[in-house]
Structure 1
Amino acid sequence: MLNQIEIARGVYYVGAVDWNLRDFHGYNTPRGVTYNSYLIVDEKICLIDNVKAPYSEELLERVSQIVDPAKIDYVITNHVEPDHSGSLPKLMERAPQAKVVLTNQGRDEVIKYYGKEYDFMTVKQGDVLDIGRNKLHFVPLPMLHWPDSMATFMEGENILFSNDAFGQHFCTSKRFDDENELPVALYEAAKYYANILMPFGKLVVRALDKVSSLPLSMIAPSHGLIWRSHIKDILAAYKRWGSGENRERVVIVYDTMWGSTEQMARRILDGVASTGVEVRLMRISTTELSDVALAVLEAGGILLGSSAHNSGPLATMAAASSYLQGLKPQNKLGGAFGAFGWNGGAQERLEAGLAASGITAALPSLFLKWTADKAELQQCFEFGQQFGEKVKEANRKD
């Protein structure tokens, strides 16, 4: 017998909690990961999303405590990524008569990924499925964060099954936001957004327009907690993040070989701090990239620093630059700095990486040979001061 959780009338949590996962394709998850799945028992029986393949039997056991899986009429697949659809083959063996409901793109992805044809029911914006007491409205959200992505709104209980949107990587025995510490939930929601959805900010704003008029009693994502008491808080946060709103904050991401670049970074930090701007120093060789993404999310400025190595930046900083390019942070000012010896090359690569990320250079780069003398340390301090003032000025304009 497994713990049975009814989140609303006739709506059950049947997902799995992966307490020990610490790496979600490169995203560090110190609080683990959940794969949320929801069973709706109405005149028609629907399963909203499923779970990662290793947890297939747990999903089926949870469903079986409530209904025979063979009685499932619809399997709603909001997103085909394997953490949400991995149990589909085993599930359909137990519910072969069920229709698989998904977008047209999702249909193509299921066929390609699993090599199977099911009884597909493709849906688009405005389509409604009457299941009895409740009705399901389908809200395609392409590229949040795959082409197939959609949300499902259940009219009746007024629950938005949002899949990856509004999620968090956060394991807990309690399913709701008001049963856990709100600051922790919002922290994990921000980290999730920064690493998964940041590249799609403009699309997030459009998605919010689609759901903001809905009478929401709950937002039930496919990762983490269900929002019921703090819906306004998470919607406001997504609006802020999607719009690229920033704070007077600078993040200095660097790595160093023999300490010269670190010496520069610390003096630059003092210069930024002297302007009253919040500033954080993050050495990338001891920091997870996903934590850097979170720090960058609401920062107005990003400084990248590296020693030169093999005619380029250190490999750790090359990776950090590449990660930022994928995230495409909005409305950020940037700059580069570092130390070099007999050969350079880091400057050009870091500058190119900032440009490719869509980050606007606020100042000419600062690169020094060997190690900084007293006058050059003062130059670093002034570089930080100037950058801090630029961030303050940009924030006032915003």
Structure 2
Amino acid sequence: MRIFKFGGASVKDANGIKNVFSVLEKVGHEDTLLVISAMGKTTNALEIVIKNYFDKSGELNSSLQDVRKYHNQILLDLFEDEEQEHEVFFAVNSHFADLEYFLRSNKSPNYNFVYDQVVGYGELLSTTILSHYFNYAGLKNNWIDVRNFIKTDNNYRDADVNWEKTQQLISKGIKKRALHITQGFLGSDENNFTTTLGREGSDYTAAIFAYCLNAESVTIWKDVPGVMNADPRYFENAVLLNQISYREAIELAFYGASVIHPKTLQPLQKKEIPLFVKSFVNPLLPGTSVSKGTDLEPKIACFIVKKNQLLLSLSSIDFSFIMEENISEIFALLHQYKLKTSLIQNSAISFSVCIEDKFGNFNEVKKILSKKFKVSYNENVSLFTIRHFDDHAAKMVEKDKRVLLKQVSRETMQIVAKE
């Protein structure tokens, strides 16, 4: 089988959904499983619903209606001759009824639990609409609830996959010689509550299915021609990378390259399943291949930038050395509070780390660390990583910035800077 993943930008409106249909007509759709993200910015809109549920209950209904109106408009554009009598309207209304029931009846104060139960409706809605439209347009398909196949622990918002159970369910339940449509990003725990695999986890979903089905390939369809050597939003003259090895792609993903989710590559590499990143605008172009083989073609510097990072520096109060014991304690704390580490540097009496505070836990950690260390930090810094750097690449990144920390190894240069 082939696994195709389409992100939110590809299904943001009726024309996007029609284009996905057109892509399948051009590249084929037999023995194919589609993994689909929420439409457009739906995940962000549902995050506002969640925020209002906890903090501004008076605005909850209007934020929910915004999500409903957005999807209803797409339905009206796709099924304009149906006068709202097509079964898709009932299916979509049923999802909203379920969501409203949850918001009325939930008793759990756990933000992460509520987040997963609510935000998952983005993918349920997008795949329901896409599946019905494909049937309506003559392309028969099976709609699959991914939560019946990908089983996880209950670490809400960043769940770990139970590979053994997931493998059994996918092997038994996915029939070949058909077109299947399912949701990215989601799974379920042993009590069948919805879990999510982390933001941008739809790529990972595609890799999970590929691994369990021994798929021929995975293709991630994007609004760019493939993987570029730099994000065109921040760097001019970005160049398309034709080929990347698994190892190099894992390095790029680790440092924050946004095209490929960090967890996606490991299951693919284990079975040597090639990953293609292609354009849904020009689907017949070759795009980028991530597979066994050449590390990088062409061999050029690759630039990665992570915004909104935090540079934390600790020094000992009594000028004693910061040794293994202290460092292990610091890392245990960072792990406990889910502060993701991207860069580490230490000297005899100081320790610096560049972190991402995705869950808003830094202030709590700072309080704990202040009892033992002198704490200083810079907020809203950018972490620039250059793989296969040269002097020209380094100078280009450092230009017009205040460099707070710099680290160089054989292949990689990292710079924490205030822009």
Instruction: Choose between structure 1 and 2 for higher RCO, CA contacts under 8 A separated by at least 6 residues.
Output: 2
TM-score normalized by the length of structure 1 = 0.33
Which structure is larger by alpha-carbon Rg, 1 or 2? 1
